[in-house]
Structure 1
Amino acid sequence: MKHDVAVLGVGMHPWGKWGRSFTEYGVVAARAALADAGVDWREVGSVVGAETVRGGYPGYVAGATFAKALGWQGARVTTVYAACASGAQAINTARTQLLSGLADVVLVVGADAAPKGFFRPAGGERPEDPDWLRFRVLGATNPAYFGLYARRRMALYGDTLDDFAQVKVKNAACGALNEHARYRKPVTAPEVAASPVVADPLRLLDICATSDGAAALVLSTMDFARARSTEPPVRIRAVSTVTPTFPQTTLDLPDIATDSAATVPPGPVGFRASIADAAYEEAGIGPEDLSLAEVYDLSTALELQWYEDLGLCAEGAAAALLRAGDTAPGGRTPVNTSGGLASFGEAVPAQAIAQVCELTRQLRGQAGERQVAAARVGLSANQGLFGHGSAVVAVR
């Protein structure tokens, strides 16, 4: 395919709360990816860093920060920010450089040292940002809107608290097998039910933590990859970074009207579904072609919503899909074989890159006990604040 680029190497720093600099985490992940690729640092023509707003000035210029820490060698540097979609934007920037001939090899790095509790808002007052309005006008912080989504699913589709708990059970079982996960212990549904309520109906174990962590990829042109090995590499075939379509200006609470949405009929496709649709269209595939998917399970109920948005099932049928085992290892389309945010917690600029690390290992057949049999096509998906779409299609 004319837009394919090769994934030569993947690397991660384990997720946790380590109390060290994001730069240190990123360098560990970058060196691991370079070693995995068999590429010398001096061969890298460009470094794309996903920005971390919590890292001070070095975080604002993450590309240069990582390049300096690895040793100045003349590479181009780029820094991108798109909240939770930063990693996908970084991958897309690297892909563009490769396809345009600006570089043969690009290193993509995302790392974060997340504080405890709520993130301090970045960028000051943002009255034109619908997410900022959600925080300040509605008082709907992330756990609050996770709870609203869960209640909405319960009211509309009959989802139950046990359905939500079973998402955590599934993901924790996978995370227990992942050496990079922060939480590596299986969880039972009664344990989820017994954990403290955070935002009714969701319990503590229904909602992801915040973490330190890092992930990196070494991407190359297909010509460079073929010159290095006769083994066909994993390829990135599509990257979706789409924005919402008017009038869907309220990104996360679709039933709460804005001035525009009150007078204009909503579009036929929601924002998260449009993220996936754009990736499918570019890759020339459909949901029926997926071997596995990595989705942004900020909450257990939100993972169920992703099943529908990715087209894995009809609207309202996500819980039935889960109950049938279709999204579990060995099922029709396993979801979050890495363990997801349920097992990692959220290290914002690293997360979308980490998703592609998991897809790559699965497509290579290197996922160990988490391996999906005969994996050929994988999709990652999340979204960032202020309308940043994020989806990547990887193939083998």
Structure 2
Amino acid sequence: MSDVFVVGADLIKFGRYPDKTPAQLGAEAALLALDDSGLTVHDLEVVYAASTYNAASMIAQQVLKQIGQTGVPCVNVSNACASGATAFREAYIGIRSGMYDVALAFGVEKNPKGLLGGPPGPGPSPEGLFGSATTPAMFAEAGVVHAEAYGTTIEQFAQVAVKNHHHATMNPKAMYQIETPLETVLASEMIAWPLTKLMCSANVDGAAAVVLVSERKARELGLARAVRIRGSALASDPYQPRNPALLDADTVTRLAVGKAYEMAGLGPEDLNLVELHDCFATAEILHYENLGLCGQGMAGQLIDSGQTALGGRIPVNVSGGLLSKGHPIGATGVANIVEIVQHLRGEAGARQVEGARIGLAHVLGFSAVAGVCGVHILEKA
């Protein structure tokens, strides 16, 4: 089986695009990634597209109508917030199997405004019965459980937002590029205690794309800017004898990252940077422990230490993360990979993690009743 490499990676600036269609946004990102790879649409052998709200409309085929229809297979993926990571993994599998040499994987989303989530299911609403089905309340509850168990404070959760908003000031493609001091984060509108508005991810439109190739093709193109995929894992919730309306963001992430570390032959001590799914500030704290970046119950101390900030031992979400860069659901998983690729190439500008050779991209998709997690470990070629 062939090793698989990323040779093209880019994204559009995240924001709001009322005058553009999802296909137009996806096409722009796809062309950016193709330009970055030195390839054209005529080199593509397969396309994998991710979207939560637009996948049913055959978004891959719509994008090819914008950039060139060559008759290649198109696969459209919808897997909640892990949609982009799923499309990337399917492209990886297609190339690793030997079926293809060149694949495009992209994610695109035009998010609706307001709280995100699907329509209510049949029967009584879990809202008010089992806590809450809205994602801010679900992750607020998870944060409170962590605080009760380990003494994590609201200030420690808020420091995640302070850090990630600072990182975003160095990312020209982030939605929000503003400093938010601790007192500003704590004073912003309370959404679901302990989560204030500035501790919740930014609801935006966006698109990101990558070009993956086989080792044969990568050597033909040259390995100077190529990034090797060392580990790729996708997991869903295992059965647990507990109320399915109670959020468990931990188990599915630990399952996926364990598989990715095993496949890569690496551990958390080998990582130089991480892009993780900070849909809410509480989530980043939980995932420090889930990904093995610190011991159980030590995440509050880790954020206080500054080790997850740019210049620290293990920088996390140097892009600004979902909190500040933005969270266009179907594009997020691919965007996290783009960020890692740019650092491993030494092309991340003012926010560059110096000497980065190995990075991890993590994304978690959740509803009130189901979860999915994608983890990818990438290495400088």
Please indicate the TM-score interval, normalised by the length of the shorter structure.
over 0.9
User: Is this contact kept in 1: 2:14–2:205, CA < 8 A?
Assistant: yes
Which residue is equivalent to 2:21? 21
The answer to whether structure 1 residue 75 and structure 2 residue 59 are counterparts is no
Counterpart-to-counterpart distance in 2, 1:126 and 1:360:
42
Runs of 5+ consecutive residues of structure 2 not aligned to the other structure? none
**What is the number of residues matched between the two proteins?**
375
Matched with 1:125 is 121
**Aligned counterparts, 1:174-185, within 5 A:** 174-185=167-178
Task: Establish whether residue 234 from structure 1 lines up as the match of residue 215 from structure 2.
Answer: no
CA shift for structure 1 position 358: 0.3
Equivalent residue letter for 1:93: E
Q: Distance in 2 between matches of 1:182 and 1:232?
A: 27
Q: Is the 8 A contact 1:308 1:315 kept in 2?
A: yes
Q: CA deviation at 1:133?
A: 7.2
Q: 1:343 aligns with which of 312, 315, 324?
A: 324
**CA 167–22 in structure 1, closer or farther in 2 if over 3 Å, else same:** same
| 1:194 counterpart (164, 175, 187) | 187
- CA positional deviation for 1:208: 1.1
User: 1:93 & 1:147 partners in 2: Cα distance?
Assistant: 32
Alignment partner for residue 353 of structure 2, among 366, 372, 379? Answer: 372
Instruction: Give the match's secondary structure for 2:14.
Output: strand
Q: What amino acid sits opposite 2:104 in the alignment?
A: L
Is 1:289 the counterpart of 2:282 in the alignment? no
> Which letter does structure 2 place at the counterpart of 1:341?
L
Name 2:86's counterpart in structure 1: 89
Q: In the alignment, is the contact (CA less than 8 A) between 2:152 and 2:300 conserved in 1?
A: yes
Residue in 1 that maps onto 2:237: 244
Q: Deviation of residue 354 (structure 1)?
A: 0.1
Residues 227, 126 of structure 1: CA spacing in aligned structure 2 closer, same or farther, 3 A cutoff? Answer: farther
Distance in 1 of aligned mates of 2:291 and 2:256: 9
- Change in CA separation of 1:248 and 1:171 when aligned onto 2, cut-off 3 Å: farther
Greater shift in the superposed pair: 379-388 or 40-49: 379-388
Alignment correspondent of 1:395: 379
Which position in structure 1 is the counterpart of 2:9? Answer: 10
Q: What residue is the counterpart of 1:325 in the other structure? A: 306
Displacement after TM superposition at 1:230 (Å): 4.6
Task: State the partner residue of 2:50.
Answer: 50
Instruction: Indicate the residue corresponding to 1:149 in structure 2.
Output: 142
Contiguous gaps of at least 5 residues in structure 1: 256-268
The equivalent of 1:259 in structure 2 is none
Instruction: Read off the aligned partner of 1:16 and give its amino acid letter.
Output: G
CA distance in 1, matches of 2:254, 2:206: 28
Q: How many angstroms does 1:246 deviate by?
A: 2.5
- TM-score with structure 1 setting the length: 0.89
Cα distance in 2 between the residues matched to 1:87 and 1:126: 28
Specify the SS of the correspondent of 1:16. coil
Checking the alignment, whether the CA contact within 8 Å between 1:134 and 1:141 is kept in structure 2 is: no
Match of 1:113 among 102, 110, 125: 110
User: What is the RMSD computed on CA atoms of the aligned residues?
Assistant: 2.1
Deviation at 1:28, TM superposition (A): 0.8
1:148 & 1:184 partners in 2: Cα distance? 28
Asked if 1:225 is matched to 2:218, the reply is yes
**CA deviation profile, 1:193-221 (whole Å, cap 9, x unmatched):** 11011111211111112110000001110
Q: Shift in Å at residue 357 of structure 1?
A: 0.1
Q: Deviations over 1:206-239 (max 9, x none)?
A: 1112110000001110110101115261111221
CA distance in 2, matches of 1:52, 1:245: 23
Alignment of 1:306-325 (within 5 A): 306-325=287-306
Contact 2:2 2:95 in 1 (8 A): no
| Corresponding residue of 2:246 | 253
The amino acid of 2:14's aligned partner reads W
Percent of residue pairs bearing the same amino acid type = 35
1:381 to 362, 365, 371: 362
Distance 2:231 2:171 in 1: 26
Q: What's the counterpart of residue 260 of structure 1?
A: none
